[in-house]
Chain A
Amino acid sequence: MLQTTLVNLSMNRPRWVFFGVLLLTVIAGLQIPSIKVDTDPENMLPADNAARVFHDHVKERFGLHDMIVVGVVNDSAGGIYNQQSLSELQQLSDAIVQMDGVVSQDLMSLDRVDNISQEGPGTIRFEWMMKQVPTDQAGIDQIRTSVERLPLLNNTLVSGDGKAAGIYIPITQKSESYRISGLIQTEISKLSGNNQYYISGLPVAEDTFGVEMFIQMAISAPLAGLMIFILMWVFFRSFLLITAPMLVAMGSVIITMGLLIGQGYTVHIMSSMIPIFLMPIAVVDSVHILSEFADRYRPGEDPKVALKEVLGHLFTPMLYTSVTSAVGFASLAFTPIPPVQIFGLHVAFGIMLAFVLTITLVPAYIISLSPKRMAQMKDHNIDEDDNSFLGRLLIFTGRFSIARAKGLLVLFVLIVVGSAYGVAQIQINDNPVRWFKPDHPLRVADRVMNHHFPGTYNAFLVLDKTGDLRSGLEQSLQTRAAKEGVELQQKLDSVTAESFIEYTNALINLFDQLSYDDSDHETLWLDLLDMTEKAQINSKYFLTPDAMTYLDGLQTFLDDSEYVGKSNGLPTLLKTVYRELQGGAADQYRLPSTAAAAAQTVLSFQGSHRPNDLWHMVTPDYRSTVLWLQLSSGDNQDMNRVLKLVDGYVADHPLPEGVKLNWAGLTYINVVWQDEMVNGMLNSLMGAFFMVLLIMILLFRSVKIGLLSMLPLTVTILFIYGLIGLSGKDYDMPIAVLSALTLGLSVDFAIHFLERTRAIYRECGSWEQTVAEVYKGPSRAISRNAVVVAIGFTPLLFAPLVPYITVGFFLATIMAVSAVVTVMLLPAVMEMIKDKDSLFGVKPGIKESIHD
């Protein structure tokens, strides 16, 4: 049998075991330096996810980049409209434009955008808004007047109150934003004025999180190790004894992380917590072995005998607790979120590895100890006195549970009902910026910027006009040509172009040339040319009054809603340029009345310094357009409200024929993966629940005890999630992941408790005596382990990043609650079950054999 083989190997060949484990650890350890951290929430979705593919496609089609937003704030009465503030702004933007990784031509700042203005009657002027900072206040006030006249700039480049200006910095790579924001910070520190500067934007938040996460890992994981070490020393007072569990923990962590990194996976937020999850779980089993071995071993005896006995006794429960914990984590593979899958599967692997190391490395370690050291081990009184505080507390608890069984059951039913109510109150929400503490510079920047501006979170509403244009045109061209007996197919085939606009351009050039070269059919070619030009004009859908009017209506509706700060789109640009062409009066702020007028309005705009800004709003074929929505909140709930708003609007005002509406933008992507996560988590929780139940039934070979063992964790999960619902804490990514973990961890206590209870009952046959026994040994071990694991997670509470604190707090709570529920609820329920013999499977004449 595997068990015997492993145990014999480790006892007879301890060196092999040491060497083998060391070798594995070194190989795995060598992988770790090639670690790649990934905090891009986009990667929460698989690369082929439809929403993500669309988002990427939108970015490409409209030349949109992720943006860092630098806020320049001056709270004095005149705001940023003073020479010093503006000079600093220009100095900063000049420096930023030179930075590598910045898409300099698309950078938006007061000194890099155009002003369209009236210069006397009938004269329009395109010029830089602020090529140089004016030396007089009148010039500066003129800039303010100009900005406030231009809807695309007002409240985007300078806030409505004039106190804040924004520099919008598109970057080529999101993963560069931490580096670039560092460079910007350096430039800011060179400035010496009265402005305050804030760096914000989702890319910075995400990338900064990655960097801080790395630091966090480097601090928290060793700290957790230290905590566990200290705690075990408090319990066992023997470095000799606790060296073995520490070796198991370190081995498990290093090999698991090495495996993850070695396979080329990136370390995501969840995966970065693997060491912290694994360490407490890994030491628990070794503690069981050492405790029991120290109890049974008598100096002078062959340690192998005692060791075999201990391992024989503990192997099955250890295997099962490991398997159930692993199943709990592995169930995360059912969520459609790749980083969570990787996390779950690797923790599951780590737990099983810790089990294998425990039953090989620990025996090998004990065997290798000299008799003198072995004797030292005995000197430490491992098994605490029944008179210790914990001992007395537990004995009291046992008596209380039995005596007040009914009352306790009622209490637990009430808790379950209350928790169920709490679960119903759960608010599903997330926002990567909130992964930082409220006093983090990024959170501060977020607050300040969204106070002054209509919003620094971006969502993109994309409208695509669909339909096959080419075959219709080809058919009418051929019909026309056939009238004159001209075969057109070959000529049409000679023209190859992807987009309709390029295709028609090529045809137009072809027919133009033919009308010149083939003067016999001049009329035909000119007719075909005319038909093609008409088809081309008609294809430019997002210049037509119908399309623009619809879009304009949608924009007005969104701008009036409380969740959208501001929207920018092609109608905004058209109306602005049209107004200036028509003399600049406010009542001229409207859409051109025909498609040709719109096209010429656009052409006028293209005579500016930044003609390409147009292509961030519409594609060159005018078949797709995008509205840029500035949201003041990045909360998924708020984004969801915006989605609902638009759905409602589209229901009341149906989209024009053939127009499709879709969403893009990081704020939207976050909503998508959260939805997937919530549903996926439910699946994985249900899956894990039934897997664990099945394992329990198999382990105990009893449906009743199997169900009983699920009771503490069910109550615990309900309680924890009820608490989250009632406390108003958002159900976010870390909370979602916790559900499956709770299941895997809290069933451990039930296994140990029920296993020992049944064994003791089968030996003594008396329920009263069983309860008394259980509350001395097993309960104490459970409580001690709960404390070890719970405290092992506490370094997370001191983390600077909120998800770690959340996970740390709830894991500690889960441990505590499930330990309490186990030692109080289980005896009370068993007390209520009359036929104990049937429950524990005691049949006359059949000898108990589970531990052999």
Chain B
Amino acid sequence: MIKQLFTSLVVGLTLSVSAPLYAADLSDVNEIVNQANLAAYYQGADGRSEARMLIEDSQGRQQQRQFTILRRDHEDGGDQQFLVAFSRPADVRGTVFLVEKHAGTDDDRWLYLPGLDLVKRISAGDKRTSFVGSNYFYEDVSGRNPEEDNHQLLETTAEFYVLDNTPKDPGSVEFSHYRVWIDKVSMLPMKIEYYDTSDKLYRRVEVLATEQVQGFPTVTKSRVSDLVSGASTTMEFRFIRYDLGMDSSVFTERSLRNPPRQWLKRPE
């Protein structure tokens, strides 16, 4: 999920050097997009990680958010379930987001606010809204459906596939196109740059660190920069585990009020 958004520098590179078994360059843009989507959002059958988010405004003032993310795939590249449980700041502890991601249609989203003892369904409407006040969008967290854009392979460098992506429905998004650098080895998108309608670069998503976790190249640190305001959000992932064997019952409305402690607690 969030962490797998993008890829690696150190680990990914050493891997690529030590294992000269990578195949010839891909030339089918849809194949590249497909693989990148899987690498970024669908590693393992399920996964958990603890995220610490540092939101820094243009004046350098910082806010922190800490939450645990659980994910379970229905099928690779298809529907997914997410549960995001907040632990900090302490006054929002127990706040939970539940997302049923549908590859074909709008997602279902629920929110639980313990202070109001309130479960609320959130209309999917627009997924490009802020994720809890950070510079990440909901869509950055749960993944943008590749079907929503037209993709074009611009170039293939020694390390990256560089793609340009244009929305099929420009009215539904705030960008006119975005460019992605996909690591040729891990197939993780390492950098995404968004351009506005006057073709000015205004937003950047980048991977700052990756690790191999249980054999999966995994993003452990990433950042979104708002190039207009100068604000940015850095997210670190720790205590990452894949293939825990979570079943679908973890991701029900019942879990909003009664979070699944078994999976939320830190693995030994």
Contact = CB atoms under 8 A, between A and B. Distances in A.
A641 interface: no
Interface string A593-609: 01111111101101111
B229 A600 contact: no
Interface string B65-78: 00000000000000
B26 interface: no
A537 B90 contact: yes
Contact of A533 (B59, B90, B95, B116): B90
Interface size range on A against B: 35 or more
Given A122-B121, A582-B118, A594-B115, A609 B90 contact: no
Interface in B102-139: 111, 113-116, 118-123, 125-126, 128-133, 138
Interface string A120-138: 0011111110011000000
Contacts of A597: 113, 115-116
A592 interface: yes
Contacts of A560: none
Interface in A594-653: 594-601, 603-604, 606-609, 611-612, 614-615, 619-620
A635 to B, nearest CB: 34
Contacts of B133: 603, 606-607, 611-612, 614
B92 interface: yes
A501 B65 CA distance: 12
Most chain A Cβ neighbours within 10 Å, of B88, B128, B129, B171: B129
B61 interface: yes
B63 interface: yes
B61 A499 contact: yes
Contacts of B92: 596, 599-600, 603
A123 B123 CA distance: 6
A536 interface: yes
A126 B90 contact: no
B62 A609 contact: no
B68 to A, nearest CB: 13
A516 B265 CA distance: 12
Binding site secondary structure of chain A: helix
A176 to B, nearest CB: 17
Most chain B Cβ neighbours within 10 Å, of A60, A119, A599: A599
B22 to A, nearest CB: 37
B171 A603 contact: no
Nearest to A118: B123
A549 interface: no
B31 interface: no
B123 A615 contact: no
A127 B229 contact: no
A372 B46 CA distance: 112
Contact of B129 (A533, A596, A608): A608
A534 B89 CA distance: 10
B90 A536 contact: yes
Contacts of A509: 52, 64
B156 to A, nearest CB: 34
Interface of B: 52, 57-59, 61-64, 88-92, 95, 111, 113-116, 118-123, 125-126, 128-133, 138, 171, 198, 226, 228-229, 231, 266
Given A124-B121, A502-B62, A603-B92, 4 more contacts: A63-B58, A98-B198, A502-B61, A607-B129
Shortest Cβ-Cβ A-B pairs, 7 listed: A606-B133, A597-B115, A125-B123, A596-B115, A599-B91, A533-B90, A123-B121
20 contacts: A119-B123, A122-B119, A122-B120, A123-B120, A125-B122, A126-B122, A126-B123, A127-B123, A128-B126, A505-B64, A540-B91, A599-B89, A599-B92, A600-B114, A601-B113, A607-B132, A609-B129, A619-B61, A620-B57, A620-B63
